[in-house]
Each structure stands twice: as structure tokens, then as C-alpha cells.
């Protein structure tokens, strides 16, 4: 297929690589220099967001914040043709996802919210979990493409359902990351070999993606982002706002957000979420 892809950052670049194996992919991102490896691998570069729509019935977006999504889709809707399908893989606001769905529908364009989970490792391996919201017919049309970048692809319901599901995912991760960091700090204070400890606890009841994938990075002092702290804070804010609308109090999530905001204030916003260990230093 001929498809478009907007946003080739930490996650997007690996997603594009998988799509390039079976499709012609037109890409656009804010900084062309960062996309040069993809261009060398066969991706077609265009100089603007509207150009991504030309000749591409399916366009993926993977940007940073809801404000970025809004900006990109304003341009996409101007250029998009009836019958097109836009798939937003950004973790964004469920309310915005519903807005985009309705705006697209008025123009004959299907919009699917399809946030992903699995971090840079999942993106590189093509094993992302993809949580979708939107119309079933549109979902089934893009399912073969989504299956090229993920191994667990589910339609969770109507517009916004994918984003709500991703909020559940981020809520579960938020306090888990606190647990991972505190386990490491405790083990080190107790004089244990944490690599050896990990061999024991990662396969038991404490096992999790975060424990297995981020603890080794913590032990090496590797804070490079598989997922940015700044984006995690954005996700937690969205989840807390949605929870407030539903009359829910989520103290664990609120605490995680507070800790990560302190790290961001210390200049670590561009680091990976495993840098939470620095809060305990």
C-alpha cells in the first residue's frame, strides 16, 4: 500500500521501518535531518503535512502532545480526501479523539485513535500493543498495516476508546515505576547484587515489562529515553483530568506525577522514565 506517516521520533522511526518492508511510505517530520536514515532506507520525504495526503489513502500520525495532534489534523483535514483513513498513534486526550472523529466524519474521512504501548523496544521489534477506537469497518481496513507494527491489536470501542485504554495502561505503569525504583534502592541499600535479584523477582509475582526492561538500564545508569519523562507527565495529566470528570480519585497516579514533575524541574524532562531512580539519589 501507499501510506503516509507523520512524526518519526523515538517510536515513529521504528514503526516506519516495519511498514517499509511491505509498503511505500511517505514521511514528514519537523526536522528532516533526523529522518535521513529512513529516507536512505526507501521512505519518500515531503516538505509539508498536506503533501503527506497526496496519493495516500491511509495516514499515520505519531507526534508529541494533544496540541501537536490538533495542529497536524487541522492541516490534514484541509488536504485529506473523502474515503481516507487517518490513524493517530499519539497518546492524546480521549476528548480530542472524539472531536477529530466527528470532524473527519463530516468530511468523509475516518479517524482512528490508536495509541501504542511497548516503548522503543516494542517499536523496534514490531511487537507493540495497539489500542484502537473508532468505526469497525475503518479498523478492519487498516488492521493489516497495524499488524505490521504490533502483535496485540485490539478495537476497544468507539472514538476515544483507544485513548481511554491507553490511560489505563499509563495508570498501571505510573505506580509500577515507583515500585521498580524503590525495589532497586532497597536492594542496593541491603547490599544485594541487583542483577542477581532481578533474575529471581522478574519471573515471579513482581514481574512486569517495566521491571524487566528498565531495571537493567537503571543499573547501568542509562537514562536514554525509550519513553520521555515529558511525555509521561503529559499522559498522567490527561488521565487525572479524565478521572476528575468521572469523579475518581487516583492517589497513586497523582504521586507518580508529582515525582516525575520534580525530575522534570531538575532538567530530566528529556530523559527516559527509568530516570525516576534519580529522585531517590
User: Tell me: the pLDDT tens digits for 241-256?
Assistant: 999 999 999 999 999 9
Residues 141 and 197 in one domain: no
Question: What is the tens place of the pLDDT at every residue in 137-163?
Answer: 999 999 999 999 999 999 999 999 999
- Domain final position from 99, 125, 158: 158
- Domain final position from 158, 176, 192: 158
Residues 171 and 154 in one domain: no
Residues 118 and 229 in one domain: no
Report the pLDDT value the prediction gives residue 119, as an integer from 0 to 100.
87
Residues 173 and 147 in one domain: no
Report the pLDDT value the prediction gives residue 281, as an integer from 0 to 100.
85
- The residue from 13, 98, 166, 257 that is catalytic is 166
pTM recorded for the entire structure: 0.94
Share the mean pLDDT of the chain. Answer: 97
Question: What is the tens place of the pLDDT at every residue in 184-234?
Answer: 999 999 999 999 999 999 999 999 999 999 999 999 999 999 899 999 999
Domain hosting 233: range is 164-280
Q: Rounded CA gap, 87 and 116, in Å?
A: 11
**Is 140 exposed, middle or buried (CB count within 10 Å of its CB: 0-12, 13-18, 19+)?**
exposed
Report the pLDDT value the prediction gives residue 127, as an integer from 0 to 100.
97
Residues 80 and 95 in one domain: yes
Question: What is the tens place of the pLDDT at every residue in 45-90?
Answer: 999 999 999 999 999 999 999 999 999 999 999 999 999 999 999 9
CATH code (residue 170): 1.10.1040.10
- Domain final position from 133, 158, 183: 158
Whole-Å CA distances, 262 to 59, 109, 256, 259, 265: 37, 41, 10, 5, 5
Residues 148 and 47 in one domain: yes
Residues 147 and 176 in one domain: no
CATH code (residue 66): 3.40.50.720
Residues 134 and 73 in one domain: yes
Residues 128 and 24 in one domain: yes
Q: What is the number of domains present in the chain?
A: 2
Residues 181 and 200 in one domain: yes
Residues 111 and 60 in one domain: yes
Residues 146 and 216 in one domain: no
- The per-residue DSSP string of 195-258 comes to HHHHHHHTTSTT--HHHHHHHHHHHHT----SSBHHHHHHHHHHHHHHHHHTT---HHHHHHHH
Whole-Å CA distances, 82 to 49, 59, 106: 17, 13, 9
Residue 98 known to be catalytic: no
Amino acid at each position: 500500500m501507499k501510506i503516509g506517516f507523520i512524526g518519526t521520533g523515538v517510536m515513529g522511526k521504528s514503526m516506519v521501518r516495519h511498514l517499509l518492508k511491505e509498503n511505500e511510505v511517505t514521511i514528514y517530520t519537523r526536522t528532516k535531518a533526523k529522518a535521513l536514515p529512513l529516507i536512505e532506507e526507501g521512505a519518500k520525504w515531503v516538505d509539508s503535512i498536506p503533501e503527506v495526503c497526496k496519493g495516500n489513502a491511509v495516514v499515520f500520525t505519531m507526534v508529541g502532545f494533544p496540541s501537536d495532534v490538533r495542529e497536524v489534523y487541522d492541516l490534514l483535514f484541509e488536504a485529506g480526501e473523502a474515503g481516507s483513513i487517518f490513524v493517530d498513534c499519539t497518546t492524546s486526550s480521549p476528548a480530542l479523539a472524539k472531536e477529530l472523529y466527528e470532524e473527519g466524519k463530516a468530511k468523509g474521512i475516518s479517524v482512528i485513535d490508536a495509541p501504542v504501548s511497548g516503548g522503543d523496544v516494542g517499536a523496534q521489534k514490531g511487537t507493540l500493543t495497539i489500542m484502537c477506537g473508532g468505526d469497525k469497518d475503518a479498523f478492519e481496513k487498516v488492521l493489516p498495516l497495524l499488524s505490521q507494527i504490533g502483535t496485540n491489536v485490539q478495537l476497544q470501542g468507539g472514538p476515544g476508546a483507544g485513548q481511554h485504554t491507553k490511560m489505563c495502561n499509563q495508570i498501571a505503569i505510573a505506580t509500577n515505576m515507583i515500585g521498580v525504583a524503590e525495589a532497586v534502592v532497597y536492594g542496593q541499600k541491603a547490599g544485594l547484587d541487583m542483577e542477581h535479584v532481578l533474575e529471581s523477582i522478574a519471573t515471579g509475582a513482581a514481574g512486569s515489562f517495566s521491571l524487566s526492561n528498565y531495571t537493567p538500564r537503571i543499573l547501568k545508569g542509562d537514562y536514554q529515553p525509550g519513553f520521555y519523562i515529558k511525555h509521561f507527565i503529559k499522559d498522567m495529566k490527561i488521565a487525572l483530568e479524565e478521572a476528575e470528570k468521572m469523579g475518581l480519585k487516583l492517589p497513586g497516579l497523582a504521586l507518580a506525577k508529582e515525582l516525575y514533575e520534580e525530575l522534570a524541574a531538575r532538567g530530566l524532562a528529556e530523559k527516559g522514565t527509568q530516570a525516576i531512580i534519580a529522585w531517590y539519589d
